[in-house]
């Protein structure tokens, strides 16, 4: 043992330096190993990501191949059945005359027009009466302007303001009782015509299904080759509306069931958009 306190302290400091250097070396080695391990893990992750991407691409290619194969099978099935099976006719409808279609369209136009409820009609007539009263007062005020003395500036301004107030307004449109009655009748007749035509269409579609007839290309392109399991009634409802849409809007395309999409808002646009959504569900595998 070194009995010199200073020497002993120096020896202890030297030992601590050695321990510190050893610890620093171990930490450096640990950091190097950790960095190498992180690099290895990163490389493995990148390799795995590339493999997953390649796998996804392959799955997409296989899905597209299966889809093409399904379409080829459908086309082949149609050709085989065309030689053996009778075809369903959903394009010619002698039992649905133009007059019946006209009733449906007239009913749709009536629904599109602005109609007055009894309360709205009463309120509108009250507004018209108030407008007419104000208009008469404004006319009287305009006539009074020509008779006022030069020093009646305040009265002149009052009369002029009264006249200007009515010139910025428009007289409300009066409810037409005859138009309202005609629209009510047109709506009722249109609803009855729709029910009648839909029944005729549905009956023919159900008969084609029962006899396993070959559907037109536009029909299968839109609704698929058959009703999905558990959705037969919904499928028939939509199929009936697809045929009705073609009849109402004179669509004759052999491939496109609904033809060009309508640009204007209204009953046709609403029906078109609904059929697009519903039929997309029926075509899902």
Supply the DSSP string of 104-127, one letter for each residue. Answer: HHHHHHHHHS----HHHHHHHHHH
Question: Which residues, in sequence order, are CB contacts of 100 under 8 Å at separation 6+?
Answer: 193, 196, 197
**Is residue 189 domain-shared with residue 257, that is, in the same domain?**
yes
Domain that holds residue 67: 1-84
**Is residue 170 domain-shared with residue 38, that is, in the same domain?**
no
pLDDT at position 250 is 94
**Is residue 124 domain-shared with residue 197, that is, in the same domain?**
no
Q: Provide the domain count of the chain.
A: 3
> Which residue among 69, 84, 99 closes a domain?
84
**Is residue 274 domain-shared with residue 155, that is, in the same domain?**
no
**Is residue 35 domain-shared with residue 123, that is, in the same domain?**
no
**Is residue 198 domain-shared with residue 97, that is, in the same domain?**
yes
User: What's the CA gap between 173 and 130, in Å, rounded?
Assistant: 13
pLDDT at position 85 is 67
pLDDT in tens, 178-202: 667 788 889 999 999 999 999 999 9
In a domain, 179, yes or no: no
> Are 274 and 266 in contact, with CB atoms under 8 Å apart?
no
Q: Does pLDDT of 69 surpass 70?
A: no
**Is residue 273 domain-shared with residue 196, that is, in the same domain?**
yes
Q: Does pLDDT of 117 surpass 70?
A: no
In a domain, 243, yes or no: yes
> Which residue among 37, 64, 84 closes a domain?
84
If one counts every other C-beta atom within 10 angstroms of the C-beta of residue 253, the result is 13
pLDDT in tens, 206-247: 999 998 888 999 999 999 888 888 899 999 999 999 999 999
pLDDT at position 13 is 75
**Is residue 122 domain-shared with residue 101, that is, in the same domain?**
no
**Is residue 102 domain-shared with residue 194, that is, in the same domain?**
yes
pLDDT at position 251 is 95
Structure tokens at 162: 């009264």
DSSP 249-263: TT---SS-SS-SPP-
Q: Please give the share of the chain, as a percent, with pLDDT higher than 70.
A: 74
> Which residue among 155, 174, 193 closes a domain?
174
């Amino acid at each position: 043992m070194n009995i010199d306190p200073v020497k002993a302290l120096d020896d202890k400091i030297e030992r601590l330096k050695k321990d510190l250097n050893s610890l620093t070396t171990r930490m450096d080695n640990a950091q190097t190993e950790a960095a190498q391990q992180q690099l290895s893990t990163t490389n493995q992750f990148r390799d795995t990501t590339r493999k997953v991407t390649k796998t996804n691409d392959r799955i997409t290619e296989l899905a597209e191949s299966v889809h093409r194969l399904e379409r080829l099978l459908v086309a082949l099935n149609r050709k085989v059945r065309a030689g053996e099976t009778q075809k369903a006719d959903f394009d010619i409808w002698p039992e649905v005359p133009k007059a019946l279609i006209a009733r449906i369209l007239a009913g749709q136009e009536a629904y599109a027009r602005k109609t007055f409820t009894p309360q709205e009609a009463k309120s509108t007539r009250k507004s018209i009466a108030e407008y007419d009263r104000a208009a008469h007062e404004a006319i009287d005020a305009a006539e009074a302007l020509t008779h006022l003395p030069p020093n009646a500036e305040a009265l002149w301004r009052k009369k002029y303001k009264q006249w200007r107030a009515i010139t910025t307004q428009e007289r409300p449109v009066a409810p037409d009782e005859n138009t309202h009655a005609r629209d009510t009748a047109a709506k009722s007749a249109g609803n009855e015509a729709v029910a009648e035509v839909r029944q005729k269409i549905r009956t023919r579609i159900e008969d084609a299904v029962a006899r396993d007839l070959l559907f037109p290309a536009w029909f299968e392109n839109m609704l698929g080759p058959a009703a999905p399991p558990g959705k037969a009634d919904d499928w028939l409802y939509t199929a009936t509306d697809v045929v009705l849409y073609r009849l109402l809007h004179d669509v004759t395309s052999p491939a496109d069931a609904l033809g060009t999409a309508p640009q204007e808002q209204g009953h046709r646009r609403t029906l078109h958009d609904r059929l697009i959504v519903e039929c997309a569900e029926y075509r899902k595998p």
